[in-house]
Homo-oligomer: A and B are copies of this chain.
Amino acid sequence: MVTVECITDLLTPEGDSRIRELVLEEKPVGVVLNDEPVGTAMVMARDLEELAVGYLFGQGLIEPGDKIFDIEVCEQGRINVYAEVTPRPDDEMITTSGCGGTGKIARRLLHEDYPEPADFCISFHEVAELIKRTLAWSSLSQDTHCVHGCGYYSEGAFQVCYEDVGRHNAVDKLMGAILLGRFSPRGAAYTTGRLTSDMVLKCARMGIPVVLSRTAPSSLGLDIARRSGLTLGCYVRPGRVNVFNAPHRIVR
């Protein structure tokens, strides 16, 4: 269960009543890489294997192509990941300002070159399908008003949606799933959250060619999109894509 029920006092000038509310469970999970603790994140405790791998990718500790041997999700709220990774320099970390399960990125990741986005395009009809399937994935958002979703369209079909208390965690879960080989990086991601620097950065580093949001970009998210060449669409609705970079990948 990722929700708890509670009784609240609904107060108005005309009178009070007791009502039942569903509240999302936010939990700390520790992520460990090759027996070295990396950090702890506040998450929604679902899809934790994907989360851990994506979290490590977000920290710059795992890259596409690194071999992941094993993942153990422990009851005490710790996730042990065993992988063959390239040693990294000590990074200067930046705390990101967004619903951030990672909450920080290595400064060097902002300035590295990004892989060429995969050759890919998506139609209005497919964008509409991606939005509808993402928003219909579960009732958590309507029930708790405390989750963000990250849906994915690839290989001609809607593939999956990951949800979490933080928009960054939701994207981490998708990144983790791609790194685990469950989905191709050649696709379109749709998030219910804003496209701030860290959100776009993850997708740019993965080479994801189309990144869509229900809402707004920040200047840094847009800068990263421009540098990487990915298609950035914001305020997206079925039949309406407001493209801030590389519109050619949205087709009729």
CB nearest neighbor in B for A101: B97
Interface centre among A21, A99, A241 (most CB of B within 10 A): A99
CB proximity of A131 to chain B, nearest CB, Å:
14
Q: Cβ of A150 < 8 Å from any Cβ of B?
A: no
Known contacts A21-B242, A216-B24, A218-B24; decide if A40 and B93 are in contact (CB<8 Å): yes
Report yes or no: A95 in contact with B99, Cβ–Cβ below 8 A.
no
CB proximity of A202 to chain B, nearest CB, Å:
14
Q: How far apart sit A21 and B216, CA to CA, in the bound complex (Å)?
A: 10
Q: Cβ of A80 < 8 Å from any Cβ of B?
A: no
Binding site for B on A (CB under 8 A): 4, 6, 8-13, 16, 19, 21, 23-28, 39-43, 92-104, 107, 124, 144-146, 164-166, 168-169, 194, 196-198, 215-222, 234-235, 239-244, 247, 250, 252
Besides A8-B243, A12-B239, A98-B100, 7 more A-B contacts (Cβ < 8 Å) are A10-B241, A11-B124, A11-B243, A19-B242, A96-B103, A146-B215, A146-B218
